[in-house]
Amino acid sequence: MTVQVFGFRNDPDTRKAQRFFSDRRIAVHFVDLDERPASPGELRRFKERFGAAALLNRESPRFRALGLRVAGDSPERVLDRAVTEPRLLRTPLVRCANRLSVGHAPDEWTAWMETHRQA
Residue range 82-102: mean pLDDT, rounded:
93
Is pLDDT above 70 for 105?
Answer: yes
Residue 16: exposure state from Cβ atoms within 10 A (0-12, 13-18, ≥19): middle
Q: At residue 100, does pLDDT exceed 70?
A: yes
Q: What pTM value is reported for the model?
A: 0.90
Q: pLDDT tens digit string along 18-37? A: 999 999 999 999 999 999 98
pLDDT for position 119: 63
- Per DSSP, 99 falls in state E
Mean pLDDT computed over 100-111: 96
Q: What share of the chain is helix, strand, coil (3-state, %, to 5)?
A: 50, 20, 30
- The fold for domain 2-118 equals Glutaredoxin (3.40.30)
pLDDT digits 0-9 by tens, 43-88? 999 999 999 999 999 888 988 888 876 666 778 888 888 888 999 9
- Tell me the residue ranges of DSSP E strands in the chain: 2-7, 27-32, 93-96, 99-102
User: CB within 8 A of 42, min separation 6: which ones?
Assistant: 6, 93
C-alpha distances in Å from residue 9, one per residue of 13, 19, 35: 10, 12, 10
Per-domain residue ranges of the chain: 2-118
pLDDT value of position 72: 66
3-state secondary structure (DSSP) of residue 81: helix
